[in-house]
Structures are given as structure tokens and as C-alpha cells.
Structure 1
């Protein structure tokens, strides 16, 4: 009987783990709805007569909705578990996407000027959807890492990769089921679908991601037999928000580790140099991600005001660019971590006297940031000099996704190595506020340059729409590269 009871319990645990995994996958795949904005920006410009600054503001609020409440979302995970974040995401997605679709549906096709009230409602809805994104993403990420603590790197990496594939998955659905060859994407129907599907998926997650409390703190769902480590080594609320490669040394890397005060972090000049680098890299990347749709349209001569352009062709090309960004973002996250470990392994021991530390690395990880900066600068120059057709934008999309994914992948290990593991979650959260300032800076630069060079009332056409923006971005990328050299000199022998 006892043996039979163990078998039944094991089967139940396996069934529960199966549904937990399904929910993790579903949450991650449906979390990236805001990244499909480039697919609908042409329709919003046609149907609602929105200007480029207004389109940029809507997309920007969706992107920025991910950042301000990241600490609150992390606290929710610590106090209640992934299920609570999934429940919150269900409400936010249903409300944000649902009211977005309703506002578009009630707007007549023959309006002559954009409605300020509609613009404000759409912007607020997209901000709610961006907030839902971080709740849903955290729910899948932490459910995966807590369900498989003995494989935490693989579990969290798979969850992040699935999140990276979300725009590809959703854009395929949009192209296959919600796009007409003559009229283009049906935004109302597509966002109604997102409201129902994303809301339902995350609502189910509120039940399937309800891990037992003892497991929420780090034990596997199936692992009830293995003894726990001592309290000192157990996972608590101070565990990093993102997993990173642990150091073998108990000796602290820098004096910042000795205090939990964030003021010590702010007093480190290298912290501000890193903020500048991330502001430029992530800000310029998110500007492209949000506006790739109108960049594509700027290279279609048929989109000149007064001439109906081929909606199906333009939107199909936009969908292709969104997929390329998603695929390159995903593969860069999967490959850049192992690549960094191979070519820039962290030192195994960092004593107080750094001059005598063991240097097992071949190059510094900071040089990867230098490479990313140079990659973006090179692509921006290529864009200015050679890209004149929508097909040519594939290079820009692939480089953007690669730079974006690689930066987010290598950043946690750099942060924890330089400032220690004790508050690496908090430190990582503080540092990732950089795009909160960088993204609007680059996005509004693009929006106002485009609006200034727009001869008609529709989408701006021609390279002048973005030429000045990308020359500025080129200079900023070179500045980022120079700043990374300062970091390399300051952290030489450490990372």
C-alpha cells in the first residue's frame, strides 16, 4: 500500500509539473503583445490619422510600462509566488488590449483629424499592456527557475528564450488569421484576440503556477526527499532577480559589497559609465523595435499622401522585420551566454589584492559591450549610405535583435561580479532603469525628425525621415564604445 501511495503521489506530481510547464510556455509566448506594435502602426496612421509623435508615444508607453514597477513585481514574486503575477497579468492584458480594440472599433473611418481623447486612451491602454508584460514575464521566469532549481540556468534560459520568441509567434498569428490581402491587418480583431487569449492564458497560470509554499522558496516540485541545505545557503528574497554564474570565491569583489546601501552604488563612477552605455545601446534598440513599422513604410514610395499604398506588401514586410528582430533576439540570448563563458570566463578567485588575482579569462566581458556598440554604429552607417529598399532593412533588424538580446544576457553576470551577489537583484533592477530614459530620448528624436520632414498628413516617406536620427545614433554608439573602454580599464582583471 505504501508503495502504491508513492506511485500515485509521483504520478500526481508529474501531472502537476506537466501543466506547470505548459503554463510557463504559454505565459512566455503570449507576454510579448506590445512588441507587435509595428504591425499596427500603419493601420493606426490610416484609420485614426495619428501623427508620428503620437504613434511613438503609444509604443513608448508600452515599452516603458515594463520598467517602473519591476521592483514591485519582484516583491510580489517573493511574497506570494508566480501565480499572483500571472493573475495580475491576466487583468492587465484583458483590460489594456480589450479597451485598445474597443477604442479603435468605435472610431469612424472618415475622420479628418486625430482625436486627442482616442490618442490618450490608446496610450493608457498600451501602458497597462506593458505593465502586464513584466508581470507575465516574471511569472514564467520565476515559475521555471523554482520548479527546476537544480537546473535553474537551463530553466530560466528557456523561459527567456520563449519570451524572445513571443513577437515572432504573435506576428505569425496576426499574418495568418487577422490579415487580409487587400485591407491589411484587422487591428480590432487581432487585439480582441490578444485580450481574450493573453487574459485566459495568464488566468489559467494563476492556478497552475500556484506552487507549494515550500517549493516557492527553491525546492523542486518533485523533490520532497532530498534534504535542504543549511539556512545560510537557502534561497530567500535576496536571491538575484535574474540567475547568473556564481563566483566560487567568498571574498568580495569590490567594497560596494560591504554595504547594502544603494548610495554606495551611486557613488561608484563606473556605475554611471555603465548606465550611459546601456542608455545608448538599449535606448536605440528599443527605438528601432518600436518604430520599425514606420521605417519600413518610409521606404515605400506608394505611401505618399494621396496615393493608396499596397497595404498587404508593406505590412508583410513589417511582419518580416518583427520576426527577424524576435529570432535574432532569441538566438543571441541562447548563444551569447555560453560564448561569454568561453571567451571571457570569470576569474575563479578575486582576493583583496587584485594584482595577484588569478586571470583565467582571455578577454574582458566588457569588450562584448564594445563589440555591440561598434556593431550598432556600423549598421547605422550602412543604413545611411546603402539601405534604400525595405528588403535592405533585414540587416538593421538582425543587428538590433542581436545587440538587444546579448546586452541583457551578459549584464547580470557583470553586475553580480562587480558589485557582488548580496544585492545583485536590486542592483540589476536599478541598472535596467537606463532604458527608461534612453528609450524616450531616442524615440522622440526619431518621432520629431520624422514629423518635421513629413510633407503630407500620412506616414513620412524618404530617408530624410530618419537620416538625422541615425547619424546621431551613430555618434552615440561610438561614445558608448569609448565609455566601455573606460570600464575595461577600471575593471581590468575583474570581469
Structure 2
């Protein structure tokens, strides 16, 4: 009865008694008086909150494992620190030294299609276990080969496996971050990539402090390889445990699957650029629950094979690949042969560990700066291609400085300037190029397209390293060591011209082709 209403005669005492009983029950058991549906909702909300907290902790564990992996995965980039001792201690020619470098890069770059599929199918934890095997076996064999002067094929196998271990550790970490933090993918990928760049920075200092003779400046190569065999295997095993205990996107994706009907819907592009490829409108595969209505007609699915064929049939993709070949290839060549270049300057000369650190620092810094600058340019409706062209020219400047003798000035006192220029340009190109690929050919095709283009830096490194080795050996008096500017002058004049070719190729494809097609990059 409403408050303030009068009870009929004879019922007032009964109503008052019932009210007293209800009040007593409420005071005795307040939860019991709450409707059951409310308690169920409270329980469900509490369970959901606990589940989210647990999921958040698992994601943090996964991200921490990925950062740890990338922060220790750059041991192969220290090749220049000990490469000259392959010549002095083992008697290798420069061509043989460059073959080792090429095999490391082949293991790292050319295995990425297989490694990527393995990451999707088996998860990053399994890749880390494989990396632990590769690192332990490869560096142990390399240490034994160096100490006992085993045949050259033993060292070749070692560096091929080192490259494979690096690919497994790095690519597994990047893949799990992309899947785990889909809503913040830029930052989630940027931090591991930056950590990978920093790995050579701090590892080079470890080599300088604990594995380098203070008087002769030579690296204790056998001890260093033994250290890497144990240290990197332990790091990979810790990362594997973190990936298994943390958030596992491959399992989450499987558990989320329900009986669904496949529908193929036309893609409505919201990118700031249109697709370049001609033909039928690309389609993506969507799913609806059983019983839901299909919104659009079923069309032919865009298969992975067709995506690759469409991409390689676009001539602008090959022009862009030419630019990658002629910028990143010379960059890899410089990184892997910096030790022999420094040795050719004579004594006293610049410090190899210091210059490795300069390259790593400038590369990492410019990766972040180039990414931020490109986003700012896009926000102001200005093209990212201008920034990419600037760094292509910047790389050319660095190569010409070496070719015209700038590295020889004052016994290499200003060599760090060359290292900073080439490191910064190399890092910026590797940051800007993927962004351009995703904008021009579409984000839904990025994995396939960048996987195809990612082979060209490896091919460029092979070509330019063989060029460097041939010219170096041609000017070596005893076919082992070479001193003076002639050891590398011609090589760096060629690489400087290569960067100009990249600049012109990218300028033409941007202004002549993409602009005419209405593509904003």
C-alpha cells in the first residue's frame, strides 16, 4: 500500500507486524533480500573483472618476453668487431669473411616466410625453443671452429644457423606483439623493434669491456662465441616460458572459433590511398553466426597466391624494390665490413666497438624520429615520400664521404660521423619503407607484400658485399690484409651512386605513377 495511505480497520496492526518482520529479516540477512538476478550480475561482473586482470597480467608477461628477446637478439650485428681476426687468426680471405656474413644474412632474411608460417601455426613459444637450439649449437660450433681451426664449411654452417636463430627470436617476438596488441599495434611493434636496435649497442659494450684485450684491441673470439652460446640459449628458453605462460593469441583465436558461415564481402577502403592493382575489387572473408543474414553476395576470395601475383605484376612494386636494393644493400655491406675498413686506416685508428655503438644509437634514434615525423607529415596532409627521399640522399652523402677519403682524415678521428650518417639513414629507410608499402598497396596485403620486398635487402647485401670483397682482395698485397683508401674507394663510389639511383627511382614512381593514380603516400 502506498506510503501515507490509511489501512482499513482491523488491518493496521497486521500490516505493522509484517513490516517489522521484513525489517528484521533485512537487518539479519541483507544479501538474501537482494533479488537473485542482481546477485548473479554482481558475481558475473566480479568474475569478468578478475578475468580481465588475469588477461592483462598475461599480456604484460608476453610483452616483457618479447622485449627481452629483441633486446638480446642482435648478436649477429657485432660481426664487424671480430671479422678481421678471421683473416689474421684463421687466414681467411676477404671473400671468405664476406661469405660468412652473407650466410648469416641469408639465414636471417630468406627464412622469414617459413618462420612467419611457423609463428602463426605453432606460436612464438615454439620459435623461441628453436632459437635456443640454433644459438647453442651454432655458437658452440663457431667457438670450436675458431679455436681448433676447423675447415671453413664448419664456420659457414655456424653462421647460417646464427642467422636462423636470430630470425626465430626476432620474428616470433614481433608476430606475438602484433597479435596481442592489435589496438595499439604501432607502439607494440615500435618498442620491440627499437629494443632489437639497442641490442647491438649494449652487446658491443659487453664485448669491449669483457672480451677485448686492452693492449692489442683484439677480441677473444672463442670465449665470446662460448658466452653467446650459453647466454642466448638461456634468454630464448626464458622467452619461450614467458610466451607459453603469457597471453597466447594462437590459442585465443582457436577458442574464439564457432560454427560460422563464410561470407565474402567487398572491401570498403578507408585508407588515405586507393588500391593500385587493377581488376576485380578485392574481397575479404567475413563470418556470420548461424542464423544471421548474409549482407552481400558471395564473390571469389582473394587468395594468397593471387595477392602475390597481383603485387608482382605491378611495375611500381619493382621500382620500389629497386630502391630498397640500392639503399639497404650498401647499408648492410658497411655494417658487416666496418671492421676491415677501420683496419685499413692503420694505427692509431678509430675504435670498432665505439663505432658499432654509434651506428646502433643513431639507427635506433632515427627509427623513432622518422616514424613520428612521418605521422606528423601525414596529419598535415604532406607526403611521407619526401622524407624517404631525404634519407636516400642522406645515405648517398655518407657513402661518398667514405669513397672520397673522409674516413681517412686524421687517422679516422671523424669516422664516427660516417657511422652516424649511415646508421641513421639505414634505420630511417627500414622504418619508412613498410609504412609506404601499407599505404600504397593496402594494409590487408601488408604481410604478403612486405614479405616479398623483404628479400631485396638480403640480395642487395650479397651483391654489394661480394663487390667489396673482390675490390678489397684485388688491392691486398698478401691476399689477406689491405691498407689504404684504395681498398674500398671504388666500392663506396659505387654505393653512393646506388643511393642516387634509389632517389631517382622513388621520385619517379611517386611523382609520375602514384600521383597520377591519385595515391596519397
Q: How does the TM-score come out when normalised to structure 1? A: 0.82
Unaligned runs of 5+ residues in structure 1 are: 108-116, 233-245, 303-312, 346-359
1:190 aligns with 2:232: no
Per-residue CA deviation, residues 210-236 of structure 1 (Å, 9 max, x unaligned), is 2678734778xxxx9xx99xx99xxxx
Aligned twin of 1:411: 433
Q: State the distance in 2 between where 1:217 and 1:158 align.
A: 24
SS of residue in 2 equivalent to 1:387: helix
The correspondence of residues 297-336 of structure 1 with structure 2, limited to 5 A, is 297-300=343-346, 302=347, 317-336=351-370
Aligned twin of 1:63: 105
Return the offset for 1:462. 0.5
**1:151/1:211 CA distance change after superposition, 3 Å:** farther
Alpha carbons 2:95, 2:470 under 8 Å: kept: yes
**1:13/1:369 CA distance change after superposition, 3 Å:** closer
1:427 aligns with 2:449: yes
SS of residue in 1 equivalent to 2:476: coil
1:372 aligns with 2:395: no
SS of residue in 1 equivalent to 2:365: helix
1:273 aligns with 2:307: no
SS of residue in 1 equivalent to 2:275: coil
Alpha carbons 2:73, 2:166 under 8 Å: kept: yes
Alpha carbons 2:194, 2:364 under 8 Å: kept: yes
Aligned twin of 1:446: 468
The CA RMSD over aligned residues, in Å, is: 3.0
Alpha carbons 2:62, 2:247 under 8 Å: kept: no
Return the offset for 1:13. 5.1
Q: Pick the aligned partner of 1:384 from 389, 400, 403.
A: 403
1:89 aligns with 2:144: no
Whose radius of gyration is greater, 1 or 2? 2
SS of residue in 2 equivalent to 1:371: helix
Aligned twin of 1:285: 331
Which stretch of the first structure deviates more once superposed, 419-428 or 1-10?
1-10
Per-residue CA deviation, residues 282-304 of structure 1 (Å, 9 max, x unaligned), is 1000000110111111111x4xx
Q: State the distance in 1 between where 2:123 and 2:420 align.
A: 35
Q: How does the TM-score come out when normalised to structure 2? A: 0.78
Return the offset for 1:390. 2.5
Return the offset for 1:252. 4.5
Unaligned runs of 5+ residues in structure 2 are: 1-41, 262-267, 283-301
Return the offset for 1:40. 0.7
Q: State the distance in 2 between where 1:8 and 1:338 align.
A: 36
Q: State the distance in 2 between where 1:77 and 1:196 align.
A: 24
Count of residues in correspondence between the two structures? 441
